[in-house]
């Protein structure tokens, strides 16, 4: 029996974001009702347009500052579940507190509001593999039991001079730790439980409002620059062949939210949502035969091999160093076997080929 079944009302924070828009779409398609939060009325114009066919099953409320105590008190009234996706993701912060403060305070704020909610059954926190991985000399496969304390230590010791990626990683780690601490302290007195979803890099077609490639979210922008632009976004041949983090399709992240609402045994769990590892070289020369090759290797390789090309206006993709990504060893390997066990056989990941084709077709439709 689903713990949060179709017909239930779900609050989705940061509704106009890359992930949130797909979570909303998938929930509505599966028969749920959705209330989304936005920072201003103007942020909701595009969402009202693309979800107009769902009528009264979709609504928006304004929460101007998610970091304030009580910010979500009104928004959570009458909802059965929450998908908290609102959190900053960018790798150019000067002061790490630019990322840490909104991530932690926004998460704590919504959980505090939930403490007195009587109808809530489950809260899903969109965390990240950034809260799990660490840079190790001989990396072992990371699991849901791991935490990125390395990033926190770097930020505490070096402040503005900390590694740029660690600033973001620290924000995700501290926010998720704060969520579990608040939940574990109060779980005997609340009607709901907590689930954390930890995806790595998220790629895929976009449905939220984006007016140009320059306005893309961080992960999609990096993919576009590396795979579509002739200069590979300024990356060297060695850089695009690096097998760094893992990847997952945005549509699979959205589906994982729905499944995590439905599966009772997901309660109290962290779940790595991941298709595999990747290099941007992979996406340039992907074969037109679906395979389960490493994503970093196949981005550049995939784009070149797709026939017919889903983006005819960009026939001359960067070539990089074909096949180079397949020779690398992942810097951040993962054991992602837990999520399929918990969420069930419905969780079927898109392949690199499918994601590459759909992203390029999306860019073509937009004239990019």
* pLDDT, tens only, 190-246: 999 999 999 999 999 999 999 999 999 989 998 898 888 766 566 665 565 555 679
Looking at residue 290, what is its pLDDT?
A: 35
Judged by average pLDDT, the poorest of 69-73, 119-123, 331-335 is 331-335
Residue 329 has pLDDT above 80, yes or no: no
Bridge-based pairing state of the strands 276-277 and 246-249: antiparallel
Residue 159 has pLDDT above 90, yes or no: yes
Residue 109 has pLDDT above 80, yes or no: yes
Looking at residue 301, what is its pLDDT?
A: 60
Residue 25 has pLDDT above 80, yes or no: yes
Q: Is the pTM of this model over 0.75?
A: yes
Residue 179 has pLDDT above 50, yes or no: yes
Looking at residue 105, what is its pLDDT?
A: 96
Judged by average pLDDT, the poorest of 110-114, 309-313, 320-324 is 320-324
Looking at residue 104, what is its pLDDT?
A: 97
Residues of the chain with CATH 3.40.50.720: 8-198
Q: Please tell me the CATH superfamily of domain 8-198, with its number.
A: NAD(P)-binding Rossmann-like Domain (3.40.50.720)
Looking at residue 222, what is its pLDDT?
A: 86
Residue 310 has pLDDT above 60, yes or no: yes
Give percent above pLDDT 70 in the chain: 81
Q: Look at phi and psi of residue 233 and say left if phi exceeds 0, alpha if psi is from -120 to 50, else beta.
A: left
> For residues 173 and 151, is the Cβ–Cβ distance under 8 A?
yes
Bridge-based pairing state of the strands 193-198 and 270-272: parallel
């Amino acid at each position: 029996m689903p713990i949060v079944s179709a017909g239930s009302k779900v609050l989705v924070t940061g509704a106009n974001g890359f992930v949130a828009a797909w979570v909303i779409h998938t929930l509505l398609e599966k028969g749920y009702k959705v209330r989304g939060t936005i920072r201003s009325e103007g942020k909701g114009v595009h969402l009202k347009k693309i979800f107009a066919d769902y009528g009264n099953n979709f609504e928006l409320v304004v929460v101007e500052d998610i970091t304030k105590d009580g910010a979500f008190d009104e928004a959570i009234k009458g909802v059965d579940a929450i998908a908290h996706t609102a959190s900053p993701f960018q790798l150019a912060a000067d002061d790490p507190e630019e990322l840490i403060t909104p991530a932690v305070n926004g998460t704590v704020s919504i959980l505090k509001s939930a403490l007195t909610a009587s109808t809530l059954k489950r809260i899903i926190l969109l965390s990240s593999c950034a809260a799990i991985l660490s840079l190790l000399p001989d990396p072992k496969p990371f699991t849901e039991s791991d935490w990125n304390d390395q990033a926190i230590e770097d930020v505490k010791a070096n402040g503005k001079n900390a590694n740029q990626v660690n600033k973001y990683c620290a924000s995700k780690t501290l926010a998720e730790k704060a969520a579990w601490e608040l939940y574990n302290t109060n779980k005997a007195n609340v009607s709901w439980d907590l689930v954390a979803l930890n995806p790595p890099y998220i790629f895929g077609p976009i449905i939220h409002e984006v007016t140009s490639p320059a306005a893309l979210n961080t992960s999609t922008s990096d993919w576009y620059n590396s795979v579509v632009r002739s200069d590979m976004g300024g990356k060297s041949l060695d850089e695009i062949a690096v097998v760094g983090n893992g990847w997952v399709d945005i549509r699979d992240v959205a589906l994982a939210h729905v499944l995590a609402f439905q599966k009772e045994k997901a309660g109290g769990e962290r779940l790595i949502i991941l298709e595999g590892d990747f290099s941007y070289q992979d996406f340039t020369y992907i074969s037109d035969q679906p395979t389960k090759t490493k994503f970093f290797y196949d981005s550049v390789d995939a784009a070149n091999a797709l026939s017919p090309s889903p983006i005819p206006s960009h026939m001359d993709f960067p070539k990089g160093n074909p096949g180079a990504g397949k020779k690398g060893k992942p810097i951040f390997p993962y054991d992602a076997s837990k999520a399929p066990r918990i969420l069930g056989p419905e969780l079927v990941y898109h392949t690199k080929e499918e994601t590459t084709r759909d992203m390029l077709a999306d860019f073509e439709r937009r004239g990019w």
